Amino acid sequence: MSESDRPVIFKNGLVLTMDDAHTVLNGDVLIIDGKIAEVGPGLTAPEGAIEIDATGGVVMPGMVDTHRHMWQTAMRGYGADWTLTQYFVWYYLESGKLFRPEDIYAGNLLGALEAIDSGVTTTVDWSHGLQTADHADAAVDALEAVPGRFVLAYGNIQQGPWEWSTSDAFQDFYRRRIDGGKLAGFQLAFDIPGDPAFQEKAAFEVARDLGVPVTTHAGVWGVTTDDGLRLMYENGFMTPGNVYVHAASLSSDSYHRIAATGGSVSVSTESEQSAGQGYPPTWQLRKHDVPVSLSMDTSVWWSGDLFSAMRTTLSADRVREHMEAHGKKETVTHHQLRAEQVVDWGTRGGAKALGMDSSIGALTPGRQGDVVLIKNESSPAMFPVLNPYGHVVFQAQRGDVDTVVVGGKVVKRDGELVDADLTTARAKVNATIDYLRETMGEDAWKRGMNPEIPEARILHNPYQYTK
């Protein structure tokens, strides 16, 4: 029996099944032939099973990220101080076109390794740097080199979506690499700024013909507004399975349309909090009964850490509730949004958003064996575990991800990735950085990373304690 064919059993963990009833139990999770076979206390490990001691730890489904620009991982942290405007100038106008296929590969490889290391077993690669089919091949090559589940959301910011999606090269790529390929899914990724000419119609028709969803940055302040969604709606393209990313500054009418047409919103709270798309929208989405999933957006600015996504999303929702109440001279005495719900959004919510709810997102028999063990015996933050949802959201972090299993294959064990070639990933990313730096020139490189700080106004303070 080869290593990847062996059954896997997690023993004696606190199991968050994320099933319909959100069952929590002390017990075991057994994976046979890549799928969850049984969940419960005192299970018997079949002969040859890989046994993982989950005592003191939390066992949960692999997390799902529904929007990550993985090619940008090569530039990790570079844009920490950017606004959305500065991001657009850097990637869309000035430097995004410099990226070669090997640079897409480098970013995707690092991003994919980072995802599985962090307990994110399914990631949507919102890949909008695919200037040629060679770039797209490179993106898929990298995703296929890492044992996670990846959905390719195909995009190209250097052309109108009506151009690239209707090209022979795109159609040929789809037939060669996607149709019947190894990836977990495929989406078209483009934005709709709201031009009444609605040229995006051609790209929507391509998505419809292929039978794939569209993922779109919607409700981005000053960029994609209610007008874009209205055009989609009026032309019959707000359809089930579409994912609306951010949706942070939309009208009530647009939220109703998303909910009524079977769409969902991918909330990237770390992103919305600093780029300026609008307030992280869960406080609105809850009111409008819009399904929610979570995402990290891009590591060029923020973390690729779904624990942070859950934490910031819960906190942002609560601070909004408090501030809205204070505005009415009221006090919030009970929180609407619970830690349990954001854990659901980070697992099951993502599975539903991707149309994969029957196969991932929960630990129930028959679903894929995508399982994460959070356990760290050398961390004082990892005991006691009293409120498991609260612990996952506010106490745990990426370094506490002890074991990750994808489709029954152990990809991380005892806190270390299994068979991951970080040396190669590092060399490829370094080559990309050297190339970009040399091509841009040192001045442009430094200017891009260090945006000017506008002058701040300090208020006159009338209280003077010293003369």
- Using CB under 5 A, list all residues that contact Zn ion: 297
- Please say which residue, 270 or 297, places its beta carbon nearer to Zn ion: 297
63 vs 124: CA distance, rounded Å: 12
- Torsion sign, CA atoms 95, 96, 102, 108: positive
Residue 88 CB, shortest distance to Zn ion, in Å, is: 11
- Please say which residue, 68 or 412, places its beta carbon nearer to Zn ion: 68
103 vs 91: CA distance, rounded Å: 14
Residue 311 CB, shortest distance to Zn ion, in Å, is: 20
Residue 195 CB, shortest distance to Zn ion, in Å, is: 20
- Please say which residue, 282 or 295, places its beta carbon nearer to Zn ion: 295
Run of H or E including 170? helix 168-173
Which has the closest alpha carbon to 432: 206, 8, 45, 108?
A: 108
391 vs 394: CA distance, rounded Å: 6
Tell me whether the omega of the peptide bond preceding residue 384 falls within 30 degrees of 0, making it cis: yes
Query: Which pair of tokens denotes residue 322?
Result: 């408090």
Under 8 Å CB-to-CB from 418, ≥6 apart: which residues? 410, 411, 412
- Please say which residue, 181 or 278, places its beta carbon nearer to Zn ion: 278
- Please say which residue, 72 or 368, places its beta carbon nearer to Zn ion: 72
Kindly state the DSSP code that residue 297 receives in the 8-state scheme. Answer: B
- Secondary structure (3-state) at 38: strand
Residue 305 CB, shortest distance to Zn ion, in Å, is: 16
103 vs 307: CA distance, rounded Å: 28
- Please say which residue, 125 or 297, places its beta carbon nearer to Zn ion: 297
Residue 196 CB, shortest distance to Zn ion, in Å, is: 25
User: Which class for 289: exposed (0-12), middle (13-18), buried (19 or more C-beta within 10 A)?
Assistant: exposed
- Please say which residue, 277 or 403, places its beta carbon nearer to Zn ion: 277
181 vs 4: CA distance, rounded Å: 20
Residue 68 CB, shortest distance to Zn ion, in Å, is: 8
- Please say which residue, 122 or 215, places its beta carbon nearer to Zn ion: 215
Run of H or E including 68? strand 63-68
Residue 230 CB, shortest distance to Zn ion, in Å, is: 21
- Secondary structure (3-state) at 217: strand
130 vs 139: CA distance, rounded Å: 8
Which has the closest alpha carbon to 219: 229, 204, 209?
A: 229
- Please say which residue, 226 or 297, places its beta carbon nearer to Zn ion: 297
Residue 138 CB, shortest distance to Zn ion, in Å, is: 20
CB closest to Zn ion, residue no: 297
- Please say which residue, 200 or 270, places its beta carbon nearer to Zn ion: 270
Residue 180 CB, shortest distance to Zn ion, in Å, is: 28
Which has the closest alpha carbon to 346: 267, 238, 288, 429?
A: 267
Give the C-alpha distances (Å, rounded to integers) separating 164 from 140, 157, 190, 410. Answer: 17, 10, 11, 38
- Please say which residue, 221 or 435, places its beta carbon nearer to Zn ion: 221
Q: Are 295 and 342 in contact (CB under 8 A)?
A: no
15 vs 291: CA distance, rounded Å: 24
Q: Are 73 and 299 in contact (CB under 8 A)?
A: yes
Residue 401 CB, shortest distance to Zn ion, in Å, is: 24
- Secondary structure (3-state) at 129: strand
Centroid of chain to Cα 230? 26
Residue 217 CB, shortest distance to Zn ion, in Å, is: 6
- Please say which residue, 100 or 128, places its beta carbon nearer to Zn ion: 128
- Secondary structure (3-state) at 7: coil
Which has the closest alpha carbon to 322: 309, 308, 333, 310?
A: 333
Residue 268 CB, shortest distance to Zn ion, in Å, is: 7
